[in-house]
Structure 1
Amino acid sequence: MNIQAYIESGILEEYVLGTVSPQEKQEVECMSHIYPEIKEELLRTEKALEEYALKHQTPPPASLKESLFAQMNFDAPREFKEEHIETPSVVPAETEEKTVVPAQTDNDGRRAVVNDAFERVETREVVPFWSKLAVAAAILFAIFAGWSAVQMTEYKGSNEQLAAELGSVKGEMEGIKTNLAYNEALAAMYRNPDYKVVKMAGLPKSPESAVAALWNQKTNEVMLDVQKLPSAPAGKQYQLWTIVGGQPVDMGMLDNQFSGKVLKMKDSQPGAVAFAITLEKEGGVPSPTMEEMVVMGKVS
């Protein structure tokens, strides 16, 4: 298995962000147990996500608690009174005894007024403190839950941003690897004594252009290092030529995406004395258009 290709596929980042399918999740966990390199990369990715989340987290406002309790009213409830009238029991006429109770009189012989004939009862509604505290806690919990939901939304957005940044970093790393491979390939050919380097300088058509042909004189293989060349216009394409026996020989068309690449051209014929590039119609022509020649170099 190509472990590096699996790591670079992006599935580890998706696993950490929780966007993989159950089958992919099981696959990643299985692979991380089998290959230490995958497990190490997975741990490194998780650590990077955790550090990013901690770096960008938003703590609750310091004034949240004070603002909440300032809006609460813990005053005692308004007291009120209820009057209850005790009604004397009524004895049915049939069962009422014929007992005569002497009336109470005062010193002057007048009938005395019975005090507390009607008893006034005062009641008060008491709300326990724990009930107030429970209401306050419920309100605080609701506010905190709302705040947490907002934070989770922001955190999800941060995860998506992190995924995009990881993708961007991954693209940059791939670009660096490509450039490194390009430079290593060029360096190897420039150091190889079997290759003759033919430098093609810019002509009046394109004076700032510069291209190098690396010609292996043992195998006649020709590689092209495009150092500086304008992009071909629409419908046009660059074509490489060698001069053998005074006649131009087609060496193939340059890939329009030639920047940062070592282009392999057709094999050269022995006895080539010069290399040149012209700008032709797309697909090439059997003989070069001399007015469209952009670079040329002699074989020394």
Structure 2
Amino acid sequence: MNIQAYIESGILEEYVLGTVSPQEKQEVECMSHIYPEIKEELLRTESALEEYALKHQTPPPASLKESLFAKMNFDSVQEIDDTNTDEQTESTHFEAGPVTNMRPVTQEEPRVIDNVFNSVETKVVTPFWARLAVAASVLLAIFAGWSATEMSKVKKDNEEMASKMGTLEKGFSYAQSLASLYRNPEYKTVHLAGLEKSPQSSVAAFWHTATNQVLLDVQNLPKPPSGKQYQLWSIVNGKPVDNGMIDQEFSGRVLKMKNTKPGAVAFAITLEKEGGNPTPTMEEMYVMGKVV
């Protein structure tokens, strides 16, 4: 498995952000247990995201709470007083008469009912805790929306940061490869300088004399026109040997070319038709360098 390609795929960053599917989550966790490099990169990504979020976190505006409560009307609680109706009074007296015929006589006093045609208006009072709960819900919804927006920004920033980190890692790997080639005594370094066709051009060839392997570092070459491609040659016994076509995306890369033959005395690059020629076009030679 290509561990580096898996790391550079971006799935670790999505795992940390929680945007992967359950299957992908299980895959990342499994791979991190199998490969220490993936686990180390996962921990480093989590740490970098946490550090970035803490560094760039934006607290809610201080005026948010005040402005929210200012828009809400909390009326004072009014209690409804029950109106007591007039109590009915009854008067009791005895009519005069013989003692044996005395009996209590009850007489109802007339009651006066005011506002008989006026409807009683009842006001429903909402408890204060209910209003407070509504306010808290609104506040929570606003805060959730604000948090989602901030999280979206963090995710975008994290993607940009991951892209920059990937570019830096590629640049670091490229620099390491070059340094290793320059220090390796098994490789002969041949500097190909620009000719009259392109004086500003510069290329470095690395020739492993034991295996005849040739590696190329294009430091400066004009972008080839459409339908054209650069071709590398080595001069062996006075004859050009084809060392292969140079990839169109040659910047910032160490290119592996075709092996040369023993006894190479020089290397050169010409501009040929796309796909190459069996012999070099001398009028289109851009750089050349002798083996020292």
Q: Same fold, TM exceeding 0.5?
A: yes
In structure 2, the partner of 1:167 is 162
Cα distance 1:47–1:140, how it changes in 2: closer, same or farther (>3 A)?
farther
1:147 maps to 2:147: no
CA distance in 1, matches of 2:214, 2:52: 49
In structure 2, stretches of 5+ residues that fail to align are 91-102
Cα distance 1:276–1:152, how it changes in 2: closer, same or farther (>3 A)?
same
Q: Give the deviation of 1:295 after TM superposition.
A: 1.5
What secondary structure, in the 3-state scheme, does the structure 2 residue paired with 1:20 have?
Answer: coil
Q: TM-score by structure 1 length? A: 0.70
Aligned partner letter, 2:143: S
Given candidates 227, 230, 252, the residue that maps to 1:260 is: 252
Deviations along 1:217-246, whole A, 9 cap, x unmatched?
A: 444333333222112111111122233444
In structure 1, the partner of 2:98 is none
The answer to which of 219-228 and 205-214 deviates more is: 219-228
Given candidates 222, 225, 229, the residue that maps to 2:221 is: 229
1:278 maps to 2:270: yes
What secondary structure, in the 3-state scheme, does the structure 2 residue paired with 1:145 have?
Answer: helix
The answer to which of 270-279 and 67-76 deviates more is: 67-76
Tell me which protein shows more strand as a share of its residues: 2
In structure 1, the partner of 2:94 is none
In structure 2, the partner of 1:74 is 75
In structure 1, the partner of 2:21 is 21
Deviations along 1:162-196, whole A, 9 cap, x unmatched?
A: 441343144224313431342234224xx41x443
Deviations along 1:39-93, whole A, 9 cap, x unmatched?
A: 554444334333444444443443344444444243465989979688899xxxx
Q: Give the deviation of 1:205 after TM superposition.
A: 0.5
Q: Give the deviation of 1:260 after TM superposition.
A: 2.5
Asked if 2 retains the 8 angstrom alpha-carbon contact of 1:58 and 1:151, the reply is no
Asked if 2 retains the 8 angstrom alpha-carbon contact of 1:182 and 1:260, the reply is no
Asked if 2 retains the 8 angstrom alpha-carbon contact of 1:53 and 1:158, the reply is no
Q: TM-score by structure 2 length? A: 0.72
What number of residue pairs does the alignment pair up?
Answer: 275
1:200 maps to 2:201: no
Matches for 1:84-233 after TM superposition, within 5 Å: 118=112, 131-188=126-183, 191-192=184-185, 194-233=186-225
Aligned partner letter, 1:118: V
Asked if 2 retains the 8 angstrom alpha-carbon contact of 1:83 and 1:120, the reply is no
Cα distance 1:161–1:79, how it changes in 2: closer, same or farther (>3 A)?
same
Larger Cα-atom Rg: 1
Cα distance 1:252–1:27, how it changes in 2: closer, same or farther (>3 A)?
closer
RMSD across aligned C-alpha pairs, in angstroms? 4.1
Asked if 1 retains the 8 angstrom alpha-carbon contact of 2:232 and 2:269, the reply is yes
CA distance in 1, matches of 2:68, 2:223: 65
